[in-house]
């Protein structure tokens, strides 16, 4: 069954814990935490203290996406703060192999993300060490962007290479996910969908999650 990872960037920050709890109760599988430094991407979001506060009071699988220039130096702080999965960008300035090893040493699952301009083959050398690959279907930095259709081709290429090598990392897609684009991604081989406004700002989050799963042919929540 497809997994839903709602991005808390779309949550109500005046009542963040309550808002996150509501989408988990509505059937979300995990919470997607977007971390931006204003340097790797042109936006600044939240950091270690927010994750620590959430994880201390709200048991969940925390899917943390580091959109920052130097992910290696922040691996331990985010893992200690409650990250379950820590995803960093291949295009960042930290050495990818050292970053993956540090994530595993800190007790987290390791994910690698690629921006829209990065070819899928760039992640192939790392597939054997990753629990997840995140394909960005928009330029990272801001929510509400339009889905880039070429993301489905990249998902399919990564899935094919993983299958060829007998590997089974999860493939996640982030950006512009809705009832029309979600099936394109899952049909190409994606396992995890990041959706922000489509879930957090829906009048009925449970209905929105069920509708996304149904659109992907995975049944209700």
Closest C-alpha to 41, from 108, 110, 116, 122: 116
Helix (H) or strand (E) holding 124: none
Catalytic-residue membership of 34 = yes
The separation between CA 149 and the C-alpha centre of its own chain, rounded to angstroms, equals 18
- In angstroms, rounded to a whole number, what is the distance separating the alpha carbons of residues 18 and 161? 40
DSSP state of 145: P
Give the sign of the dihedral formed by CA 181, CA 13, CA 81, CA 71: positive
What does each of the 221 residues of the chain score in pLDDT, given as a tens digit? 899 999 999 999 999 999 999 999 999 999 999 999 999 998 899 999 999 999 999 999 999 999 999 999 999 999 999 999 999 999 999 999 999 999 999 999 999 999 999 999 999 999 999 999 999 999 887 666 689 999 999 999 999 999 999 999 999 999 889 999 999 999 999 999 999 888 999 999 999 999 999 999 854 33
Those residues with Cβ within 8 angstroms of residue 101's Cβ, 6 or more apart along the chain or in another chain: none
- The one catalytic residue among 29, 34, 63, 191: 34
- The active-site residue out of 29, 63, 174, 191 is 174
Residue 16 in tokens: 């963040």
Based on the residue annotation, tell me whether 63 is a catalytic residue of this protein.
no
């Amino acid at each position: 069954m497809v997994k839903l990872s709602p991005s808390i960037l779309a949550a109500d920050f005046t009542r963040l814990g309550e808002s996150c709890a509501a989408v988990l109760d509505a059937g979300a599988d995990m919470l997607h935490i977007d971390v931006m430094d204003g340097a790797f991407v042109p936006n600044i979001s939240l950091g270690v203290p927010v994750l620590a506060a959430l994880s201390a009071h709200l048991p969940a699988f925390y899917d943390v996406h580091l959109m920052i220039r130097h992910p290696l130096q922040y691996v331990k702080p985010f893992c200690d703060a409650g990250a379950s999965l820590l995803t960093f960008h291949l295009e960042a300035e930290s050495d990818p192999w050292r970053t993956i090893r540090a994530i595993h040493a800190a007790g987290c699952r390791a994910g690698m993300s690629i921006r829209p301009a990065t070819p899928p083959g760039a992640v192939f050398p790392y597939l054997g060490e990753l629990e997840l690959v995140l394909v960005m279907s928009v330029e990272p930095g801001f929510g509400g962007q339009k889905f880039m259709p070429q993301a489905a081709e990249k998902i399919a290429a990564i899935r094919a290479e993983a299958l060829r090598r007998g590997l089974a990392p999860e493939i996640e897609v982030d950006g512009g996910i809705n009832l029309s684009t979600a099936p394109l991604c899952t049909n190409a081989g994606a396992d995890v969908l990041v959706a922000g406004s489509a879930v957090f700002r829906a009048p009925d989050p449970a209905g929105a999650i069920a509708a996304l799963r149904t659109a992907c042919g995975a049944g209700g929540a």
